[in-house]
């Protein structure tokens, strides 16, 4: 069917939020089990060292190629571009394979050493992560096709299966022998990577067979393709007649093996991606390279950092990904906004403003209520031993400020990346280099001075720099047409007043009620949150009204 980009983006964001909540609940449950039964040192090896290796390999192998390929807005309509896109997507496999060698050497011999009792398991875990990344890259072509043609449910189902397989295998092996937790982690990663490649290719094998059957049925019933409307149009758009065509050389290529313009954009994103990866995982690189923190302290920081990033992982990241996809499909990179379709430009400006308002409000909620409930959440999660010192609670409270900055930066920078030209991306790469070096230096110095809290202050400083650059870009782009989407960053007056009042109430509850009853303290927080959300809804009635109208329209169409 002919796709509705905004609808698909919103649907993808909704499903992704639900999936992220499900995924993180499982992950947090496993982490709590490890903290209470296996130890924080093992958790530090898995969550800091091994997952850092995984994110580094996948990000550097895939991110630039995927983002650049999505920007080819004619790829769905023009079948001649698909052979080049598939060829380009498959380069992620040799890239990942080549990158694995130096990174395995670094992880095994150059980083701060792992205790001898864990080294054999750690070595197996590193190789397992590298092989699982290579396996995952082999499924990148059908994953990309599914994203372009808006197979939202496919992504959610396979991602859910991926996390379930990994979790079940890990838990089963650890329950049998808790001493092999890192071995279990590596085996689970390999098995879950296989579900990605098997699941994607199996789905498209079945889908293409049914699509062929439906096309044949349509041609037999009526030669008038217009009679079948959008259904036939969608079938005509889909360029694959077999999953063999999703491998390099499977589709007939009338031009060059690769698209030269696309490669230029990929190169720009690649340079930017390296810097972005350093900024995203910078504190983990600093912890791994230098002996600033021991592995158990790294695990404590990672646990608190993950808790503080719940909103970013559950809500902000899915919204950012879907927003980026929407912006790439509605705004052309190389044309001024004044020369583009005004209706699309106005819609994009309104969408950007509304998204900024929503994520900023969520970030402020986390900042205010986090000051009163950080210790309570950590107590429920890790037990009394985990909060026997003040460090975890201090880390989580400070991280609440980073949540606000992450919310704003994710959307504004995502819009900038989606609409930048190759030249503008290259220009920003120089600034990113400065931000990266500054961030790493600040992380090292502030950590030596403040301890793990220094990582959070360095990250906040870095976010402020990046927000300043991206908001200035958006302001300058929309100024000629008289639109100000950045106004959405500012919270409403009623929402701000109510939020501040409820924050004071929760702080009083922490002092007076928490020592007597945790449950009653939590109940006060729930009531205050509901009151704050009602105030936000009242102040943003137009957004609520739009959402209700869209829901009613969808129900009527379904009926």
Give the pLDDT confidence score for residue 233 in this predicted structure: 44
Q: Are 363 and 495 in contact (CB under 8 A)?
A: no
| C-alpha pair distances (Å), 129 with each of 23, 43, 135, 274, 335 | 19, 16, 10, 20, 42
Give the pLDDT confidence score for residue 232 in this predicted structure: 38
Each of the 559 residues of the chain gets a pLDDT tens digit; together they read: 344 555 555 555 555 656 666 666 666 677 666 666 676 778 788 888 898 999 899 988 888 888 778 766 444 445 557 888 888 889 999 999 999 999 999 999 888 788 888 899 999 999 999 999 999 999 998 988 888 877 777 887 888 888 888 888 988 888 888 888 899 999 999 999 999 999 999 999 988 888 878 777 766 665 544 444 443 344 556 778 888 888 887 666 656 667 666 777 777 777 777 777 776 777 788 777 766 677 777 777 777 777 766 666 667 877 887 788 888 888 887 788 888 888 888 888 888 898 899 889 999 998 999 899 888 888 877 667 666 667 778 888 888 888 899 889 989 988 898 888 878 887 887 888 888 788 888 888 888 788 778 888 988 998 999 999 999 999 988 888 888 888 888 888 999 999 999 999 999 999 999 888 889 999 999 999 999 999 998 888 877 777 677 666 656 665 5
How is the chain split into domains, by residue range? 1-258, 270-491, 492-559
Residue with tokens 């592995």: 295
d(C-alpha 369, C-alpha 501), whole Å = 11
Element (H, E) at 51: helix 51-70
For residue 461, what are the contacts with CB-CB under 8 A and spacing of at least 6? 438, 439, 442
d(C-alpha 518, C-alpha 98), whole Å = 52
Q: Are 69 and 262 in contact (CB under 8 A)?
A: yes
Question: ∠ at Cα 283 (315, 92), nearest 5°?
Answer: 70
**What radius of gyration do the chain's Cα atoms show?**
25
d(C-alpha 452, C-alpha 301), whole Å = 7
Residue 451 region by backbone torsions, left for phi larger than 0, else alpha for psi between -120 and 50, else beta: left
d(C-alpha 551, C-alpha 403), whole Å = 30
The structure tokens listed for 121 are 């398991």
Give the pLDDT confidence score for residue 73 in this predicted structure: 44
Nearest to 320, CA basis, from 4, 3, 9? 9
Q: Are 301 and 394 in contact (CB under 8 A)?
A: no
d(C-alpha 420, C-alpha 82), whole Å = 23
d(C-alpha 301, C-alpha 453), whole Å = 9
d(C-alpha 418, C-alpha 330), whole Å = 10
One-character DSSP codes across 277-296: HHHHSHHHHHHHHSTTS-HH
Give the pLDDT confidence score for residue 496 in this predicted structure: 93
d(C-alpha 185, C-alpha 42), whole Å = 10
For residue 480, what are the contacts with CB-CB under 8 A and spacing of at least 6? 336, 337, 338
Q: Exposed, middle or buried: residue 79 (CB in 10 Å: 0-12, 13-18, 19+)?
A: middle
The helix-helix angle for 5-37 and 152-176 (nearest 10°) equals: 10
d(C-alpha 519, C-alpha 513), whole Å = 9
| C-alpha pair distances (Å), 370 with each of 140, 153, 387, 410 | 38, 33, 16, 20
Give the pLDDT confidence score for residue 75 in this predicted structure: 45
Q: How many CB atoms lie within 10 A of CB 65?
A: 25
Q: How far is CA 341 from the centre of its chain?
A: 30
Kindly state the DSSP code that residue 388 receives in the 8-state scheme.
S
d(C-alpha 193, C-alpha 133), whole Å = 7
For residue 39, what are the contacts with CB-CB under 8 A and spacing of at least 6? 296
Question: ∠ at Cα 154 (351, 547), nearest 5°?
Answer: 30
Element (H, E) at 117: helix 116-137
d(C-alpha 170, C-alpha 27), whole Å = 11
Give the pLDDT confidence score for residue 136 in this predicted structure: 92
The structure tokens listed for 213 are 């059957």
* pTM for the predicted model, two decimal places: 0.66
In terms of DSSP H, where are the helices of 222-314?
229-237, 260-280, 282-289, 295-308, 310-311
């Amino acid at each position: 069917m002919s796709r509705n980009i905004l609808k698909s983006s919103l649907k993808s964001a909704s499903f992704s939020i639900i999936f992220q909540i499900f995924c993180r609940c499982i992950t947090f449950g496993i982490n709590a089990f490890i903290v209470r039964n296996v130890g924080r040192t093992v958790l530090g090896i898995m969550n800091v060292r091994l997952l850092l290796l995984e994110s580094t390999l996948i990000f550097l192998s895939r991110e630039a190629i995927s983002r650049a390929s999505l920007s080819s807005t004619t790829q769905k309509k023009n079948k001649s571009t698909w052979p080049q896109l598939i060829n380009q997507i498959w380069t992620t496999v040799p890239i990942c394979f080549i990158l694995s060698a130096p990174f395995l050497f670094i992880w095994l011999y150059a980083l701060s050493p792992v205790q001898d009792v864990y080294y054999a398991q750690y070595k197996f875990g590193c190789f397992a992560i590298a092989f699982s990344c290579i396996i995952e890259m082999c499924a990148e072509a059908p994953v990309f096709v599914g994203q372009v043609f808006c197979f939202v449910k496919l992504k959610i189902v396979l991602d859910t299966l991926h996390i379930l397989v990994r979790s079940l295998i890990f838990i089963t092996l650890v329950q049998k022998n808790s001493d092999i937790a890192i071995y279990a982690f590596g085996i689970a990663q390999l098995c879950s990577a296989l579900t990605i490649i098997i699941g994607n290719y199996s789905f498209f094998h079945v889908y293409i067979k049914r699509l062929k059957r439906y096309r044949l049925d349509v041609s037999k019933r009526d030669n008038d393709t217009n009679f079948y409307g959008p259904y036939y149009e969608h079938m005509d758009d889909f360029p694959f007649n077999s999953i063999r065509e999703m491998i390099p050389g499977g589709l007939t290529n009338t031009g060059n093996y690769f698209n030269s313009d696309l490669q230029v954009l990929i190169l720009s994103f690649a340079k930017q991606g390296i810097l972005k990866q350093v900024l995203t995982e910078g504190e983990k690189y600093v912890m791994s390279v230098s002996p600033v923190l021991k592995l158990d302290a790294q695990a404590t920081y990672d646990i608190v950092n993950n808790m503080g990033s719940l909103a970013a992982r559950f809500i902000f990241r899915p919204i950012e990904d879907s927003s980026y996809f929407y912006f790439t499909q509605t705004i052309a990179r190389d044309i001024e906004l004044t020369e583009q379709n005004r209706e699309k430009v106005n819609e994009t400006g309104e969408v950007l403003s509304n998204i900024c308002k929503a994520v900023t409000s969520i970030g402020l909620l986390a900042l205010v209520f986090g000051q009163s409930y950080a210790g309570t959440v950590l107590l429920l999660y890790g037990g009394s031993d985990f909060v026997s010192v003040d460090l975890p609670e201090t880390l989580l409270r400070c991280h609440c400020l980073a949540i606000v900055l992450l919310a704003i930066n994710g959307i504004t920078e995502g819009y900038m990346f989606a609409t930048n030209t190759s030249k503008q991306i290259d220009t920003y790469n120089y600034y990113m280099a400065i931000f990266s070096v500054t961030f790493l230096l600040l992380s090292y110095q502030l950590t030596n001075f403040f301890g793990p809290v220094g990582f959070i202050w360095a990250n906040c400083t870095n976010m402020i720099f990046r927000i300043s650059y991206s908001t200035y870009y958006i302001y300058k782009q929309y100024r000629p047409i008289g639109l100000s989407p950045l106004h959405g960053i500012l919270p409403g007056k009623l929402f701000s007043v109510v939020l501040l009042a409820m924050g004071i109430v929760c702080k009083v509850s922490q002092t007076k009620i928490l020592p007597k009853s945790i449950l009653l303290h939590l109940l006060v927080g729930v009531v205050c949150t509901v009151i704050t959300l009602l105030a936000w809804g009242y102040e943003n009635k137009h957004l609520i009204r739009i959402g209700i109208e869209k829901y009613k329209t969808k129900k009527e169409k379904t009926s």
